[in-house]
């Protein structure tokens, strides 16, 4: 008699209808996917931060073409 708690109420999986068990499986699947997506989002946010930091450093570096342009008297557009 496996039990599951949904919204604070316990249900016996053995007495659930097939439709209810199917919906439960869908909810569990989506919950698993959301956890995986959250982990991927964390990875992407970390990567973005690293790239943004590297971009800032590259823009500040005196050897960067943009920094050399900015240091000159004029900036050529186009």
Query: Residue 16 burial (CB < 10 Å; 0-12/13-18/19+)?
Result: middle
Alpha helix ranges (H) inside 1-78: 18-60, 65-71
pLDDT value, residue 66: 64
Residue 51 in any domain: the answer is yes
Residue 47 has pLDDT above 90, yes or no: yes
Residue 78 in any domain: the answer is no
Q: Please provide the average confidence, as pLDDT, over all residues in the chain.
A: 87
Residue span of the structural domain in which 29 resides:
3-71
Q: Domains in the chain: how many in total?
A: 1
pLDDT value, residue 58: 87
pLDDT value, residue 60: 86
Residue 36 in any domain: the answer is yes
User: What pTM did the predictor assign?
Assistant: 0.65
Considering the chain, what percentage of its residues have pLDDT values greater than 70?
Answer: 79
pLDDT value, residue 51: 94
Residue 28 in any domain: the answer is yes
């Amino acid at each position: 008699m496996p039990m599951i708690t949904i919204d604070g109420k316990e249900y016996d999986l053995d007495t659930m209808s097939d439709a209810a068990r199917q919906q439960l499986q869908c909810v569990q699947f989506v919950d698993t996917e959301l956890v995986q997506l959250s982990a991927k989002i964390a990875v992407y946010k970390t990567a973005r931060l690293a790239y943004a930091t590297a971009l800032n450093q590259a823009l500040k570096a005196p050897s960067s073409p943009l920094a050399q342009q900015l240091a000159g008297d004029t900036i050529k557009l186009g």
